[in-house]
């Protein structure tokens, strides 16, 4: 058996294992767990870190102010050094869209060792506790580009109380309109679920932990127990770090796909998507060159080898390479179809997943290159050091 056939068979073996043994990561039916109306609705502070978000705030903030929540709730928007009038716009929107009370605060530049978002979250939580000395019972941490349906908070709290969960997170449905969004965005969620299978995360005794930072309902008591956000203040991938901190201190966590929580941020060009992904890709690999090399090799074997070996096997008269590569490609495309359907996209895009994987491979390499050039984890004018160097 030649190298081409070996690569094809190895890739097929990996896809058989991924399809059957990786927590059924490809299924998209993990939604909010069964829930009932609480006897008493707990108080909630909605914390929104915002840096230069004037373009999307009119699409997102009114949805938070309009939450139909039977209990006490208040929105705390933290203007994280914006230069586009984010804070003033938020106050104007609150006057135009009366609903939940809104407080806007500006903490100034983050102290050394803090990422901007977590610094903002810290001050948002602090503002909520100052306004309500007894402290809100839950915190909804949501990004400034996330729009919520009116019953979003009510359903999140019902799920947390009914299942006695310390953290409930929904992966917001990202915008998919432009060509590049169609090609890249569903794969982003697909790859995330492959790394962090939702079913493994949601097992009470599970060890896998992750959350989606755009929508996290967190019990205040669990946040205090885990020492967050202070204990994760350097984290670039803050949502995964938050879930790990909560689980490590005995908290019960849950993550699933959203039905009524959407991102309104547009990514009209490849460059915007490239920066969004590459800014944290090397941090995900803990800035380790060996992990980078293994990731590149793994992406090549798992995603690039199937179409290459299939085509080369057909053209070169090598039936083993052709059928093994073709079957691996078929499994890949088949497991991708549910995510495309979740994003209301055509299944015709499924065979193009290797093209998207190649883009992700290049983005990951670029993330490492930018890190060693001193521009790693750069976002909105800030560059964050490797945690051990911060």
Q: Mind listing the pLDDT tens digit for each residue in 116-126? A: 999 999 999 99
> How far, in whole angstroms, is CA 366 from its chain's centroid?
20
DSSP state of 385: P
pLDDT digits (tens, 9 = 90+) for 30-86: 999 999 999 999 999 999 999 999 999 999 999 999 999 999 999 999 999 999 999
pLDDT for 384 beyond 80: no
Interval 268-281: pLDDT, tens: 899 999 999 998 89
pLDDT of 357 higher than 60? yes
Angle at the Cα of 130 (from 219 to 137), degrees rounded to 5?
20
Cα Rg of the chain (Å, integer): 22
| Residues 84, 175: Cα–Cα separation, whole Å | 23
Query: Residue 74 phi/psi, 5° resolution?
Result: -150, 145
Q: Which of residues 108 and 351 earns the better pLDDT score?
A: 351
Distance CA 347, CA 337 (A): 6
Indicate the pLDDT class of residue 388, thresholds 50, 70 and 90: very low
pTM metric for this prediction: 0.94
* pLDDT value for 387: 52
> Which tokens hold the place of 205?
């005794």
| Whether the predicted pLDDT of 217 surpasses 50 | yes
Cβ contacts of 102 within 8 Å, gap of 6 or more? 61, 65, 74, 75, 76, 77, 90, 91, 94
């Amino acid at each position: 058996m030649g190298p081409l056939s070996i690569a094809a068979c190895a890739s097929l073996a990996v896809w058989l294992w991924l399809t059957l043994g990786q927590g059924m990561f490809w299924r998209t039916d993990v939604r909010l767990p069964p829930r009932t109306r609480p006897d008493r609705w707990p108080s909630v502070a909605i914390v929104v870190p915002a840096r230069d978000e004037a373009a999307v705030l009119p699409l997102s903030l009114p949805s938070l102010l309009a939450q139909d929540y039977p209990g006490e709730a208040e929105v705390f928007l933290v203007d994280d050094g914006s230069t586009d009038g984010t804070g003033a716009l938020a106050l104007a929107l609150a006057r135009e869209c009366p609903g939940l009370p809104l407080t806007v605060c500006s903490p100034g530049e983050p102290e050394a060792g803090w990422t901007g978002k977590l610094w903002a979250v810290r001050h948002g939580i602090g503002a909520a506790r100052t306004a309500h000395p007894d402290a809100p019972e839950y915190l909804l941490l949501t990004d400034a580009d996330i729009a919520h349906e009116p019953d979003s908070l009510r359903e999140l709290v019902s799920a947390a109380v009914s299942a006695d969960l310390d953290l409930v997170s929904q992966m917001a449905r990202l915008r998919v309109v432009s060509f590049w969004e169609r090609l890249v965005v569903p794969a982003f969620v697909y790859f995330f679920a492959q790394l962090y299978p939702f079913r493994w995360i949601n097992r009470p005794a599970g060890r896998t932990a992750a959350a989606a930072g755009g929508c996290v309902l967190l019990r205040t008591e669990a946040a205090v127990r885990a020492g967050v956000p202070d204990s994760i203040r350097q984290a670039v991938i803050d949502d995964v770090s938050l879930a790990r901190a909560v689980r490590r201190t005995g908290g019960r966590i849950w993550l699933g796909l959203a039905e009524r929580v959407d991102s309104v941020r547009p990514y009209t060009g490849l460059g915007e998507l490239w920066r969004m992904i590459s800014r944290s890709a090397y941090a995900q690999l803990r800035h380790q060159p060996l992990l980078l090399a293994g990731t590149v090799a793994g992406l090549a074997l798992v995603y690039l080898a199937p179409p290459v070996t299939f085509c080369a096997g057909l053209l070169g008269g090598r039936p083993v390479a052709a059928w093994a590569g073709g079957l691996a490609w078929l499994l890949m495309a088949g497991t991708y179809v549910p995510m495309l359907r979740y994003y209301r996209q055509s299944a015709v895009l499924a065979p193009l997943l290797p093209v998207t994987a190649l883009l992700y491979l290049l983005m990951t390499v670029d993330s490492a290159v930018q890190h060693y050039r001193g521009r790693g984890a750069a976002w909105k004018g800030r560059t964050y050091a490797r945690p051990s160097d911060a």
